[in-house]
């Protein structure tokens, strides 16, 4: 068995693991990332698109401010379409911030990987069977196989940044997992076509929710509420465009321009929180600890806020500090996580077609939406959460 040492062993080269590694590298803390997939796969995943200002700031600290400034689009508002009538939520005006930045997670991941490898940092792609061991001791280790050889990485700390399907969460014994599986899913496409509007449109329609987003500079990222078990083969391009037009309503349908569909996926929806987010010297961050349905655009941003707290706590500890921040990490991160869970749950409930779409609850939701769109106070609450609560 090949044995070596690092200060922080990181499982997973998603946004959480890569950002943590970059922030620690800037503080001269040695890290190794173990990633189960190959580089092409990791760099090819298309996911989140909306960054809170806190996430943009953190990416700046990690050395990619220039890229986000150059290629990101600052959006001062979003639009909500209710049965074909659009209203604007003035994110910037209601919060006194500049709003949010639209910048793809794919670019975040590609840029962080290039920067890490360019600076001599290590990512072991296709690391098999990664397991954390002895995490209660002050010499936790990561065992894994790479190139057919067994390896052991002796660490001071381990960061479990391995997403929802990773191994880390199962190494927090006695953890309580709070979970809700939603009855909806999203059929998502990336299209070589300009977006219908310069700002994102969240559409609530009797046929179901639709989201009109984008990937700068010129592509559309579009989603339709669907049943979780649909067969994407039954959704050829023509059917998708037709449904996207219908949910935008007759007045706005003409804004949609069609183009070749480059990618399609069906994303199921869950809300999950694991408590606590640490055991001994193993600390969970990002989707490894919690999942939100994508309606509030919070998943990547929560991964970034966890990393904000965890990186500062690890730096303090490595500099001979008391370890108080590490001790408080799970509590501090969870306080913010639960607020984002609440917001994502609320946005999802409000905008999707409920299963019982003719009953009392459905009418209450409609009344809430009408209230929201007529009340600057209610809009301010949405805006405050959408741009991101303070760290
Ligand atoms: P990731 O990105 O899942 O990365 C985890 C990494 O760990 C690797 N891994 C392992 N490595 C070693 N050993 C193992 N045993 C391993 N098991 C797994 C995986 O291969 C992977 O590389 O988690 P991370 O870093 O916590 O990042 C979280 C975000 O990816 C996620 O929350 C967002 O994409 C969610 N999300 C959105 N978030 C936003 O903030 N704004 C959005 O607009 C937004 N839109 C979305 C989204 C997610 C979506 N999907 C597909 C779920 C839209 C969609 C459709
Ligand atoms: C996206 O652009 O992929 C996106 C934007 C906003 C969301 C979810 C996804 O709420």
pLDDT in tens, 259-301: 999 999 999 999 999 999 999 999 999 999 999 999 999 999 9
Q: Is the CB of 193 under 6 A from ligand 1?
A: no
Q: Is the CB of 143 under 6 A from ligand 1?
A: no
Helix, strand, coil share (%) of the chain residues, nearest 5 = 40, 30, 30
pLDDT given at position 345: 98
pLDDT given at position 389: 98
**3-state DSSP assignment of residue 230:** coil
Q: How many Å lie between the centroid of ligand 1 and the Cα of residue 50?
A: 14
pLDDT given at position 104: 94
pLDDT given at position 357: 86
Output phi, psi for 91, to 5 deg: -55, -45
Closest-CA residue to 18 (of 99, 102, 103, 118):
118
CB burial of residue 73 (10 Å; 0-12, 13-18, 19+): middle
| Pairing label, strands 261-275, 176-191 | antiparallel
pLDDT given at position 337: 98
Q: Is the CB of 169 under 6 A from ligand 1?
A: no
Catalytic annotation present for 194? no
Catalytic annotation present for 75? yes
Q: Is the CB of 298 under 6 A from ligand 1?
A: yes
pLDDT given at position 317: 97
Angle made by CA atoms 8, 128, 271, in degrees to the nearest 5: 75
Closest-CA residue to 103 (of 61, 56, 62, 163):
56
- 116, 123 Cβ separation under 8 angstroms: yes
The residue-averaged pLDDT of 148-168 equals 98
Q: Is the CB of 188 under 6 A from ligand 2?
A: no
pLDDT band of 46, cuts 50, 70, 90: confident
pLDDT band of 72, cuts 50, 70, 90: very high
pLDDT given at position 313: 98
Catalytic annotation present for 202? yes
Catalytic annotation present for 294? yes
pLDDT given at position 141: 98
| Separation CA 378–CA 49 (nearest Å) | 25
| Separation CA 262–CA 117 (nearest Å) | 28
Mean pLDDT score of the chain, rounded to an integer? 97
| Pairing label, strands 176-191, 219-226 | antiparallel
pLDDT given at position 338: 98
Find the Cα–Cα–Cα–Cα dihedral 338, 340, 343, 346, rounded to 10°: -60
**3-state DSSP assignment of residue 8:** strand
pLDDT given at position 316: 97
**Residue whose CA is at the smallest distance from ligand 1 atom 36:** 48
- 288, 145 Cβ separation under 8 angstroms: no
The residue-averaged pLDDT of 354-359 equals 89
Q: Is the pLDDT of residue 216 over 90?
A: no
Q: How many Å lie between the centroid of ligand 2 and the Cα of residue 170?
A: 29
pLDDT given at position 323: 93
Q: Is the pLDDT of residue 149 over 90?
A: yes
Q: How many Å lie between the centroid of ligand 1 and the Cα of residue 121?
A: 21
Closest-lying ligand 2 atom to the alpha carbon of residue 188: 3
* Distance from the Cα of residue 64 to its chain's centroid: 18
Catalytic annotation present for 144? no
Whole-number percent of the chain with pLDDT over 90: 96
Q: How many Å lie between the centroid of ligand 1 and the Cα of residue 299?
A: 8
What contacts 233, CB < 8 A, 6 or more positions away? none
Hey, what are 330's tokens? 């799970």
pLDDT given at position 36: 98
Other C-beta atoms closer than 10 Å to the C-beta of 388 total 26
């Amino acid at each position: 068995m090949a044995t070596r040492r690092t200060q922080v062993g990181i499982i997973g080269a998603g946004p959480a693991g890569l950002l943590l590694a970059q922030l620690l590298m800037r503080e001269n803390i040695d890290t190794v990332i173990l990633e189960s997939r190959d580089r092409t796969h990791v760099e090819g995943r298309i996911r989140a698109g909306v960054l809170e200002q806190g996430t943009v700031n953190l990416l700046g600290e990690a050395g990619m401010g220039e890229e986000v400034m150059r290629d990101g689009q600052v959006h001062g508002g979003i639009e909500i379409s209710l049965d074909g009538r659009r209203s604007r939520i003035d994110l910037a005006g209601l919060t006194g911030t500049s709003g949010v930045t639209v910048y793809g997670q794919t670019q975040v991941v590609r840029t962080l990987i290039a920067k890490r490898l360019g600076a001599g940092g290590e990512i072991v792609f296709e690391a098999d069977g990664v397991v954390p061991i002895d995490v209660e001791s002050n010499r936790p280790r990561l065992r894994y196989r790479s190139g057919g050889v067994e390896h052991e990485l002796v660490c001071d700390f381990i960061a479990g940044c391995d997403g929802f399907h990773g191994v880390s969460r199962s190494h927090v014994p006695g953890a309580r997992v709070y979970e809700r599986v939603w009855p909806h899913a999203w059929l998502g496409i990336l299209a070589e076509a300009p977006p219908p509007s310069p700002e994102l449109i969240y559409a609530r329609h009797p046929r179901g929710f639709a989201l009109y987003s984008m990937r700068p500079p010129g592509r559309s990222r579009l989603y339709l509420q669907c049943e979780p078990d649909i067969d994407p083969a039954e959704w050829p391009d023509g059917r998708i465009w037709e449904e996207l037009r219908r949910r935008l309503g007759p007045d706005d349908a003409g804004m949609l321009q069609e183009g070749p569909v480059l990618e399609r996926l069906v994303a199921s929806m869950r809300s999950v929180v694991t408590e606590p987010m640490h055991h001994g010297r193993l600390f969970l961050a990002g989707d490894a600890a919690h999942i939100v349905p994508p309606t509030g655009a919070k998943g990547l941003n929560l991964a970034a806020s966890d990393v904000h707290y965890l990186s500062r706590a690890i730096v303090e500890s490595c500099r001979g500090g008391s370890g108080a921040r590490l001790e408080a990490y799970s509590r501090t991160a969870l306080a913010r996580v639960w607020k984002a869970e609440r917001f994502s749950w609320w946005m999802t409930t409000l905008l999707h077609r409920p299963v019982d779409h003719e009953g009392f609850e459905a009418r209450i939701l409609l009344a809430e939406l009408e209230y929201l769109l007529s009340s600057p106070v209610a809009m301010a609450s949405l805006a405050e959460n959408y741009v991101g609560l303070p760290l």
